[in-house]
Amino acid sequence: MKMQLAEIARALEIEPHASWDDITVTNVSFDSRKITAGALFIPLMGENDGHQYVEAAKKNGAVATLWQADHGNEPVDLPRLRVADSLKALQKLGHYYLQKINPRVVAITGSNGKTTTKDMTAAVLSTRFHVQKTPANFNNEIGVPITCLTMEPNTEVLVVELGMDRKGQLELLSQLVEPDAAVITMIGEAHIEFFGSRDKIADAKMEITHGLKEDGFFIYNGDEPLLTTRAAENSNQQLTFGLQETNDLQAQNIVGHESSTEFEVASYPGLKFSIPMLGTYNVNNALAALSVGQIFRVDPASMQHALRDLRVTENRAEWVQGSKGEKILSDVYNSNPTAAKKVIEAFSQIKTDGQRIIVLGDMLELGEASPAMHAGLAEVIDPAQISSVYLCGDLMENLADSLQNKFAPEHLHHYGVADKELLARDLSAELTGNDIVMIKGSHGIALEKVLAQLTNS
């Protein structure tokens, strides 16, 4: 980003001062601690009022600041752009800069797999175009305009991740970026506490099409009936992906390994694809990326190489080695029923000379359906594949009850959230160097403490 402050003022419909033509803005930031030289500071209203950090932003190199009009004590020694709402002004500026650079835009959302699909899509498109993508998980009302404003001037395609935790949020973000392609990876139970049902989650996810260009493509998981029924009411060009033959891109002959998955695609005979991660659910994410590549006319062999050599922003499911030599699949930062089932299914198929052991923590934000959803995990936990189960949290008592008829007491363990140290000690006593362990739970349960004890880190 590089704009004169006068141009920024005009973009926000503010009459610029004559001197602002001489002030160059090279970046924007809402965190005064991360300000660098040439920044426009965006003071936002959150738990803290960002306006109180303007002086710190100036000391760190800010050359100008937005200033919400309902605040007094305006700074007198720093150029300020007076706006009605600093967040809306940030969004307006992000939209302006996006239109100025004018890349094609791919917007991606979904209950699971957004970040992985974003990385896969960016990798596929980078074989042909100059691509920018959402950094980390900057996928909300603040992060999306910041993503737009960090684009390099030669950006040809912007791959942007859009998050959602309430109705109307995706509509705002979609209209902000006006995508040429909109992707929905899947419909799960994430944030179901706030929506009440998967149907309502699907309705909210479809908001990603509200800003989709008239000649844009809607790409979605065709194995999900909640999406196929809603897609029938959408007039955009469409592509579907999934495991069923009815999809435009269908995965076949999936073979899972400890740290990778191979598959073929019916549309690309003779090509074998590989991704450096486990699970059929990640194959679906790859199919979404291939669908985008197809409409952008990327060569299939180039897409094959891009997926094989993929580097992801944040591979939350990662293998680490325990202190006894056991291999641990750590996925301790997020969990919901759909994601947990898919990881358990993938883990259950991994070859091992020892035992497969799973550690599961409470899944949060599931609302009234939470007890049934925890109990429902029992359907994918097979004693023929899983030797022992360790559960942590009050909600996991529902799963413990469901598994009592499947597992002997010595192979089914339940602990309170405060008893993670005991859980780790009991688990460690059972482990050998040949075993593999899966640990998954919502971040609020802090199963990383169990992981730390098992790895002595």
455 annotated as belonging to a binding site for a ligand: no
Integer Rg of the chain from CA: 24
279 annotated as belonging to a binding site for a ligand: no
197 annotated as belonging to a binding site for a ligand: no
Coil, strand, or helix at residue 419?
helix
293 annotated as belonging to a binding site for a ligand: no
**Token pair listed for 255:** 């073979």
Residue type, 147: T
* Distance set, CA 441 to CA 83, 166, 304, 330, 438 (Å): 42, 22, 32, 10, 10
If phi > 0 it is left, if psi is from -120 to 50 it is alpha, else beta; for residue 168 that is: left
Beta-carbon neighbour count of residue 310 at 10 Å? 20
457 annotated as belonging to a binding site for a ligand: no
* Distance set, CA 241 to CA 206, 250, 251, 399, 451 (Å): 16, 6, 8, 32, 35
Torsion of CA 21, 22, 23, 26, to 10 degrees: 90
Measured CA to CA, the distance from residue 234 to residue 427 in angstroms comes to 51
The DSSP letter of residue 363 is P
Task: Show Cβ contacts of residue 314 under 8 Å, excluding neighbours closer than 6 positions.
Answer: 115, 136, 137
Beta-carbon neighbour count of residue 263 at 10 Å? 23
114 annotated as belonging to a binding site for a ligand: yes
If you search the block for the tokens 């035992």, which residue do you land on? 355
115 annotated as belonging to a binding site for a ligand: yes
Residues in the annotated binding site: 110-116
Residues in the annotated binding site for ATP: 110-116
